[in-house]
Amino acid sequence: MTRQVAAIEVVTHPQVTQSSLTKSQLRRIYTMRQLRWSDNHAITVFVLPSQHELHQRFAKERLQIFPYQLNRIWHKLTYSGLGVAPTIVKSEQELIQAVTNTPGAIGYIGEATLVLLRQSNNDSRSQEPLHMDEESKVSSQGVVNVVKIKD
């Protein structure tokens, strides 16, 4: 029996205007070679711990690089003083929170987590009216933007 593997979704802060990235752009962002969005806002990268199954799948499937190679790149940047490594968060929930609260942020979550996020966002919207500042925080997809990855 084969187990169906859920998709990995790339998410950004609601104010990030880019709705799609090429695989090459995504790889440059996660190897810390692209530090700004097209509108010149700084990119803040969030990742799960390297031993997390979703991180390993993200590195292999989306970035087409082994997780240990990614770690090596980040360590080299950090120890040489030429750059900084991404911010590591403990869980997908923490990653969503960090991306939501950090302008210019990017991260990744599993498809199931995105579905739950959308459901909880829709439930909270239907239960109580949003105030103007809350409304501006919520994009058409919810509290984060989902970015399409093109070849």
Residue 121 is part of a domain; what is its CATH number? 3.40.190.10
Mean pLDDT of 86-106: 96
Percent of the chain with pLDDT over 90: 70
Q: Which pLDDT value is given to residue 124?
A: 59
Compare 128 and 107 and report the one with higher pLDDT.
107
Residue at 43 is within a domain: yes
The predicted-structure confidence for 111-144, as pLDDT tens digits, reads as follows: 988 888 888 777 655 544 433 333 333 344 457 8
Residue at 2 is within a domain: no
User: Which structural domain, as residue segments, surrounds residue 98?
Assistant: 8-150
| SS3 readout for 45-98 | EEECCCCCHHHHHHHHHHCCCCHHHHHHHHHHHHHHCCCCCCEECCCHHHHHHH
Number of Cβ atoms within 10 Å of the Cβ of 127: 7
Residue at 1 is within a domain: no
Inter-residue contact 14 to 91 (CB < 8 Å): no
Q: Which pLDDT value is given to residue 142?
A: 55
Residue at 46 is within a domain: yes
Query: pTM, whole model, 2 decimals?
Result: 0.83
Residue at 3 is within a domain: no
Residue at 94 is within a domain: yes
Residue 40 has pLDDT above 90, yes or no: yes
Q: Which pLDDT value is given to residue 134?
A: 37
